[in-house]
């Protein structure tokens, strides 16, 4: 049996070529392209302005590997965690985070993760594969539809902070952003999109050279190499000095202010000396710091810091003219908060 082509992996030009091979006119490719991206069709039967015979022809040659929502859990704070089933039966998770000011979609970029961060549930999973650009895009579309259905509001922001490391899926992540921001996609401003990375120096420099318009967030969590090595093995090959140079380059090249994410752990990185190390790291480039409340995972070594220490940490940063926000956890009761995303069945195996 002839293997069908995943139609959403094709550019308009490639699709036009494939349609020509079937003996059809080039405008047919544009029609299909519009259905796939403008109208977000997930089956060929939905393409109602195409003749039944043509729909049969393309269904014989192509396939649409659309995501399927297999489960949705709603938190007490209205956060919704979604389990999405992929065409190969793998499962990923994406989250809708509603607040008073914004509706945020948090999306995944890989099935599993290879970075093995000590505090993250996803890091316990082996990395199976990267997501395709359309699989990332589908999460955004489906969470946006969910937001409008449940809360009567479209999403206002997108964060690539779910399962996986975005810069280890560089090409597909950028392709998904291009689709999300395209007039033929969701038409969102890139300024509403934030890509979060654990810190890969060469890829951060590449982002700057590629002239990206979206926001960048660096998951720092410690401004001391010895401490960061303990919780984030990637630091051994991407030291703080190397990351600082990359962030300076990114900031100067793009003219944007990166965000530094700092999960604060009890008795690990919550002292004033840790705050001073963070000040020394950020003073070389314009930035802002998000202090993130930690969300414990099963049998986890690390615990949430005392709120008094968190406030003192933030006050010290502010006294040194660092822009700082304290991010409270959302969706903890359904394991939807930062660092908690994981396929529970995979963890049990």
Catalytic (active site) residue 71:
no
Cβ atoms within 10 A of the Cβ of 141, count? 21
Eight-state DSSP code of residue 3: P
Whether 82 and 72 have beta carbons less than 8 Å apart is answered as: yes
Closest CA to 242 of 263, 231, 228: 228
Catalytic pick among 18, 93, 165, 277:
93
Is 338 part of the annotated catalytic residue set?
A: yes
Q: Which residues contact 238 (CB under 8 A, 6 or more apart)?
A: 199, 200, 201
Which distant-in-sequence residues (6+ apart) come within 8 Å of 255 by Cβ?
none
Q: What is the C-alpha separation between 335 and 338, in angstroms, rounded?
A: 9
Alpha carbon distance 107, 191 (integer Å) = 16
Which of 326, 322, 200 is CA-nearest to residue 263? 326
Q: φ, ψ for residue 54 (rounded to 5)? A: -70, -40
Q: Which of 113, 117, 120, 338 is catalytic?
A: 338
Active site residues: 93, 338
């Amino acid at each position: 049996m002839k293997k069908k082509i995943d139609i959403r992996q094709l550019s308009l030009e490639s699709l036009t070529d494939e349609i020509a091979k079937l003996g059809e006119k080039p405008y047919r490719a544009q029609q299909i392209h519009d259905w796939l991206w403008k109208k977000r069709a997930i089956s060929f039967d939905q393409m109602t302005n195409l003749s039944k015979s043509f729909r049969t022809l393309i269904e014989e040659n192509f396939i649409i590997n659309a995501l399927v929502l297999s489960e949705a859990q709603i938190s007490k704070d209205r956060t919704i965690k979604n389990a999405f089933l992929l065409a190969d039966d793998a499962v990923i998770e994406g989250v809708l985070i509603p607040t008073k000011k914004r509706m945020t979609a948090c999306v995944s970029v890989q099935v599993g993760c290879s970075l093995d961060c000590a505090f993250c549930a996803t890091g316990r999973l082996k990395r199976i594969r990267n997501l395709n650009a359309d699989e990332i895009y589908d999460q955004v579309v489906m969470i946006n539809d969910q937001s409008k259905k449940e809360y009567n509001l479209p999403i206002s922001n997108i964060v690539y902070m779910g399962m996986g490391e975005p810069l280890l899926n560089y090409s597909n992540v950028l392709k998904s952003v291009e689709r999300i921001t395209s007039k033929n996609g969701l038409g969102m401003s890139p300024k509403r999109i934030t890509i979060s990375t654990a810190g890969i120096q060469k890829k951060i420099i590449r982002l700057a050279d590629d002239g990206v318009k979206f926001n960048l967030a660096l998951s720092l969590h410690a401004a001391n190499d010895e401490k960061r090595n303990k919780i984030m093995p990637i630091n051994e090959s991407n030291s703080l000095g190397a990351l600082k140079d990359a962030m300076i380059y990114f900031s100067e090249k793009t003219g944007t202010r990166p965000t530094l994410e700092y999960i604060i752990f009890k008795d690990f990185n919550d002292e004033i000396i840790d705050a001073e190390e963070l000040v020394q790291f950020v003073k070389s480039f314009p930035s802002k710091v998000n202090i993130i409340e930690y969300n414990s995972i099963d049998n986890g070594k690390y615990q949430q810091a005392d709120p008094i220490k968190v406030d003192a940490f933030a006050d010290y940063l502010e006294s040194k003219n660092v822009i700082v926000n304290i991010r409270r956890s959302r969706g903890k009761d359904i394991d939807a908060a930062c660092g908690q995303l994981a396929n529970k069945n995979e963890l049990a195996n």
